[in-house]
Structure 1
Amino acid sequence: MIFFKLDSIICDTPARAFVKNVKSHNGYFGCDKCAQQGEYLSSRMTFPLDTCSIRTDESFAQKHNEEHHQGPDPFQGLNVGMVSQFPGHYMHIVCLGVVRKLLNIWLSGALRFRLPASIFNRMSDCLTGLRSYIPLEYARKPRTLREIDRWKATELRMFLLYIGPVILPSYLDTNIYQHFMLLFSSIAILVSPTLSSLHWQYAETLLRMFVTHFGQIYGKEALVYNVHSLVHLAQDVRLHGCLDNISAFPYENHLQKLKKLVRKPEHPLAQMLRRFSEQNTQQNKIPDRTSVSLKKPHFVGPVPNELASRRVKGQYSQMVSDQWTIKVSTGDNIFVIAGDIGRIHNIVECHDGIYLVNRRFSNKSVFFTYPFSSDFLNIYSVSQLSEQYLSAKACAVAHKCVLFPHRGGFVSMPIQHSVKH
């Protein structure tokens, strides 16, 4: 017998309403986190209030708000928290919901918010120009804004957490940009396993500010379900941990692995089981696998004098570990090493360990100051790469970073989202 405890049920908004047998998000009492009665404006259901009585597992079980329920509780008797164990799904609410809505407003919304065609084209060129700077943790590279309707959730997440804060100051009004930064800053906190546990209340305050200003800037009719749901995200993080703990991104990413296991349309499940069995057999034959592998040997990289005396065994262009992949090529060679931001130029294996040959950026300053200083998220403007080659053991690496060109220098941002999918 196998005993397990249900932690959370992750599904998008329509599926959550169907599974719980409650009103849909476009109904008058469609919010499954609070009892706010929606307001029908401009042919859409809106939720203009950011404070309302919060639903609890007990109030749901006792049906305090009868208008919210469509019928009997399907989970009755199973000891499942019908509110607490159904967290908001940030892949759909934030990425596919609010971020896409903002982009569509700027690109094709009302004339007072719409960007001119010249800026639209410049933004698209800027996005495609950043393709070489994207680390391999992102399988999808930036596409033009003309393809916004085909952007996947990972592309929208990349725009929110990395690209948007860097490129938008050049194209948006200051107030609009600062409003976007409220969303970026709060989600950056909630997606971090460390910061989310310490500062979820601060993130909740920022999200409430974002929702309030959203209605003031874009109108009350823009306060649809996805925008309103932002005010409840922090409470879900308080209960379940960072946003990646309650995200469908791992499932979506794993689908591509499952698809590759299927060779023909007949009996797909049997095919996947056979491939898994073959993989397990191969792994059992190699009991001495290490967590670090060195790839692409070469003989032309820089080797500082202190390493030459350590009896060099080999030089490599790529190192793969359980945490990340390190390369000497653009996009995967920027890391925080001993508190400094450095660019990796060589990977050297010596008899006493693996060393990273790197050069550090001499100038480091905060990148933004609103709604707080960027050093809180370890985001910096950097410039002037030192000419001196230094060496550091691979275990000294603290974070992998994304480095984007910006106004004659660069912006360094640690990878915020979980990459262990």
Structure 2
Amino acid sequence: MEENDFSDCNDLSDSDSECDGQDWDEIEEQRVSMTKAFDWFDSREEGDCPQPGGRLQMDKLPLYFGAQLTYGESMVLIMAFILSHHLTSSAVVDILTLIGLHTQMDSLFCTSKYLFDKFFNIKNLTFPIKRHHFCTACLQSISRDDTTCKKCGGNLKSSKSTFYFLEMSIVSQLQAMFRRKDFYQAILKQRRRNKKSPGAIEDLCDGSVYRNIPELEDPRNISFLMNTDGIKVFHSSNYGLWPIYLSLNELPFSMRTRRENMVFAGLWFGEMKPVMGIFLPPVAQSIQALQHGFEVKPPDMEAFQCKAYLVASTCDLQAKALVMEMVAHNGYYGCPKCLKEGSHDARRHQYPNNSDGSHDPLRTHMETLAHASEAHHTGRTGRQKSTVYGIKGPSWLTIAPKFDIIRGMTIDYMHGTLLGITKALMTLWFKSDRDAPYHSSEYRAWLLYYSLPIMQFFLPTEHFENYSLLVNAIHILLGESITEEQLCAADDKLKQFVEGFQRLYGSFRVSLNIHSLIHYAQTVRELGPLWAHSCFFFEDVNGQVLRLIHGTQAVEEQVLRAVAILQKFMELGEERFKPGTASKKLYDRLSSVLPTPEERSNFQGIGGGCFAVGSLTEQTRNAHGVFSRLTKCHLDAVMATLDFPPERLMTYQRYM
């Protein structure tokens, strides 16, 4: 070990005394250093920083004499393994114990989950946090030390009489990101990317909303896509989290979707949904201030002023209604894109097409502000509070510079098309009235095979052709390069689908998700392909945060720690390992982005963008000449295609 590794240890005797082959002085040195290290480590207050030349820096100590890893490297590698393999809390305890059993008794290795967690708590994995306290009874802003509410006079001494939410510094997080190696270079490279077709829409930055903001032509400036949604933490209670995320549109898509590159702007927690009138203002005001610029300093570059703007927001229908201060999807004028009133019948709200084939007027930003002002004025004059064309009042997002409350609100195809329309159609096809012409009983076949190749055999021709319009249009709008001609074709297909859906399944089934399809093409024209602004990657980060919550106490503090680890873990890892070492290679592999199908060893290209998953396996015949490992439905599918029994059959696990 290097001499300075133990520079703060007590002086030890230079004499050696060996017994039974053991160097007891070395063992004693390890024991003394271990005791001093743990004493320092356990007594250190969170947020303290070691003084130069002062306390022992435990993370730089080798685990034991001759070990390949320092204590810090060991902790970081284990955390990388936990994050990579999504380990539960009990699995973390087990793996710490298992590794501890493989190390010598005098090792510094930490088998305590408490100390393991504490290591990351004191590694400056934090960012500035502000707590906003309120009176539960009247939602009045209060000081943390107030004992009586100045508005309603309520007693604030009870824990249930007050609540708070958290605001995280956006600027601090952005400055930390720009300090990372190659972060800003990735932004510059993305700005200079070669498009497949000059006039096509290939990302959010190609949409008209982004291109209409002159400030974003400056390569020093950036923009955000915002997301917020509720996350249920425990199955046994209604306790939930509402984080606010900001992703950077100028990063390559593979980078902007990574956990460490997302800004965590705010967190509401508890058993009630957020009151956006008090939750959004601090975040919106912080975003508003970013237009004036803040200093960033990329590695090996001069510092410069960066400005940031909110361009788009993506949410499911419930969260969107809260953010926009409008009625929910089951109310009159519930469409965020147009002024269609809809009707209420059969215990549901529907948005059937107009009988004359016309479409209702589109909402605009300025008109929506006027509707919000009118609704707000009605409430202040003491009359019964009402909505104006579905708008309840002003949304705080409208104070964000350049943000268009209508054009900037995306339609999320994950919730709308996949979890909404597709699920509804499957319910109609597989669980509805068996006498209906579109009913099918082959639910298992649907699970095993793709919808179009299979449903052509079970749906009536008219229903299948109508469904094909939806599939083809969504396929176009998820493309990597979408031309105006393709946009028009997709728009036409979706409008035909909605019209046909109403005719085939009934106008009372035309939900807001179905109606919203007529706005998909324009949304892509304004904000880029559907994949560029979907909720998929935000949902993934939510899942990663949840996996780092263990226990029911101080959940919000656990979330802060989880987000800090997800954001700054790469930065911590880069500081720990020397290039070219085995530990660095393992760290890179554990913390790397999921590879594309072309890069995965268990994926094999079979042409046309299709990949077979798993090893190619030959199916053998039994004594009766039958492929015994194939299920009957698999064999029937093969026979229906070939019309003769194959001599040799090779299979993959699945394909995509």
Q: 1:27 and 1:177, CA in 2 relative to 1: closer, same or farther beyond 3 A?
A: same
Q: Which residue of 1 aligns with 2:397?
A: 75
Question: Which of 561, 572, 578 in structure 2 is aligned with 1:271?
Answer: 561
Per-residue CA deviations over 1:358-406 (Å, capped at 9, x if unaligned) read xxxxxxxxxxxxxxxxxxxxxxxxxxxxxxxxxxxxxxxxxxxxxx979
Tell me how far 1:31 sits from its aligned partner. 1.3
Q: Within the alignment, does 1:55 sit opposite 2:363 as a pair?
A: yes
The question of whether the paired residues in 2 share the 8 Å contact of 1:327 and 1:344 is answered with: no
1:113 and 1:334 map into 2 onto residues whose CA distance is 41
Q: Within the alignment, does 1:66 sit opposite 2:388 as a pair?
A: yes
Write the letter of the residue equivalent to 1:323: T
Q: Which residue of 1 aligns with 2:453?
A: 166
TM-score of the aligned structures, taking structure 1 as reference length? 0.60
Write the letter of the residue equivalent to 1:106: W
Write the letter of the residue equivalent to 2:312: S
Per-residue CA deviations over 1:67-90 (Å, capped at 9, x if unaligned) read 322123433443321100111121
The question of whether the paired residues in 2 share the 8 Å contact of 1:190 and 1:196 is answered with: no
Question: Which of 308, 321, 329 in structure 2 is aligned with 1:4?
Answer: 308
1:12-411 maps to which residues of 2 (within 5 A)? Answer: 12-49=316-353, 51-63=359-371, 66-79=388-401, 80-113=403-436, 120=441, 122-124=442-444, 126-127=445-446, 129=448, 163-195=450-482, 199-265=486-552, 266=554, 267-272=557-562, 273-274=564-565, 277-284=568-575, 285=577, 287=579, 322-324=595-597, 326=599, 332-336=603-607, 407-408=640-641
Q: Which residue of 2 aligns with 1:309?
A: none
Q: 1:328 and 1:85, CA in 2 relative to 1: closer, same or farther beyond 3 A?
A: closer
Instruction: Name the SS of the counterpart of 1:51 in structure 2.
Output: coil
Instruction: Name the SS of the counterpart of 1:104 in structure 2.
Output: helix
Q: 1:405 and 1:26, CA in 2 relative to 1: closer, same or farther beyond 3 A?
A: farther
Tell me how far 1:345 sits from its aligned partner. 10
Tell me how far 1:197 sits from its aligned partner. 6.1
Q: Which residue of 2 aligns with 1:314?
A: none
Tell me how far 1:35 sits from its aligned partner. 1.1
CA RMSD of aligned residues (A): 3.7
Tell me how far 1:226 sits from its aligned partner. 1.1
Per-residue CA deviations over 1:30-53 (Å, capped at 9, x if unaligned) read 112111221223222221226111
Q: 1:185 and 1:407, CA in 2 relative to 1: closer, same or farther beyond 3 A?
A: farther
Tell me how far 1:164 sits from its aligned partner. 0.9
Write the letter of the residue equivalent to 2:525: R
The question of whether the paired residues in 2 share the 8 Å contact of 1:57 and 1:83 is answered with: yes
Tell me how far 1:248 sits from its aligned partner. 0.5
The question of whether the paired residues in 2 share the 8 Å contact of 1:196 and 1:237 is answered with: no
1:180 and 1:81 map into 2 onto residues whose CA distance is 33
The question of whether the paired residues in 1 share the 8 Å contact of 2:318 and 2:328 is answered with: yes
The question of whether the paired residues in 1 share the 8 Å contact of 2:455 and 2:464 is answered with: yes
Larger Cα-atom Rg:
2
Instruction: Name the SS of the counterpart of 1:8 in structure 2.
Output: strand
1:340 and 1:71 map into 2 onto residues whose CA distance is 47
Per-residue CA deviations over 1:195-240 (Å, capped at 9, x if unaligned) read 3665122111100000000011011111121110110111111111
The question of whether the paired residues in 2 share the 8 Å contact of 1:328 and 1:344 is answered with: no
Tell me how far 1:321 sits from its aligned partner. 7.6
Q: 1:193 and 1:128, CA in 2 relative to 1: closer, same or farther beyond 3 A?
A: closer
The question of whether the paired residues in 2 share the 8 Å contact of 1:20 and 1:73 is answered with: yes
TM-score of the aligned structures, taking structure 2 as reference length? 0.40
Instruction: Name the SS of the counterpart of 2:389 in structure 1.
Output: helix
Instruction: Name the SS of the counterpart of 1:66 in structure 2.
Output: coil
Instruction: Name the SS of the counterpart of 1:23 in structure 2.
Output: coil
The question of whether the paired residues in 2 share the 8 Å contact of 1:22 and 1:70 is answered with: yes
Per-residue CA deviations over 1:133-173 (Å, capped at 9, x if unaligned) read xxxxxxxxxxxxxxxxxxxxxxxxxxxxxx11122112222
Q: Please identify, of 271-280 and 99-108, the stretch whose mean Cα deviation from structure 2 is larger.
A: 271-280
Unmatched 5+ stretches in structure 2: 1-293, 295-305, 375-386, 616-636, 643-650
Tell me how far 1:97 sits from its aligned partner. 1.2
Instruction: Name the SS of the counterpart of 1:324 in structure 2.
Output: coil
Tell me how far 1:326 sits from its aligned partner. 4.5
Per-residue CA deviations over 1:304-327 (Å, capped at 9, x if unaligned) read xxxxxxxxxxxxxxxx98533555
The question of whether the paired residues in 2 share the 8 Å contact of 1:108 and 1:114 is answered with: no
Write the letter of the residue equivalent to 2:523: D
Write the letter of the residue equivalent to 1:181: S
The question of whether the paired residues in 1 share the 8 Å contact of 2:438 and 2:463 is answered with: no
Q: Which residue of 2 aligns with 1:138?
A: none
Instruction: Name the SS of the counterpart of 1:226 in structure 2.
Output: helix
Tell me how far 1:250 sits from its aligned partner. 0.5
Counting matched residue pairs gives 291
The question of whether the paired residues in 1 share the 8 Å contact of 2:613 and 2:655 is answered with: no
2:558 and 2:611 map into 1 onto residues whose CA distance is 46
Write the letter of the residue equivalent to 1:108: K
The question of whether the paired residues in 2 share the 8 Å contact of 1:23 and 1:30 is answered with: yes
The question of whether the paired residues in 1 share the 8 Å contact of 2:323 and 2:395 is answered with: no
Aligned residues: percent identity? 21
Per-residue CA deviations over 1:253-272 (Å, capped at 9, x if unaligned) read 22233334445555313532
The question of whether the paired residues in 2 share the 8 Å contact of 1:197 and 1:241 is answered with: no
The question of whether the paired residues in 2 share the 8 Å contact of 1:39 and 1:46 is answered with: yes
1:227 and 1:280 map into 2 onto residues whose CA distance is 44
Unmatched 5+ stretches in structure 1: 131-162, 295-319, 347-403, 416-421
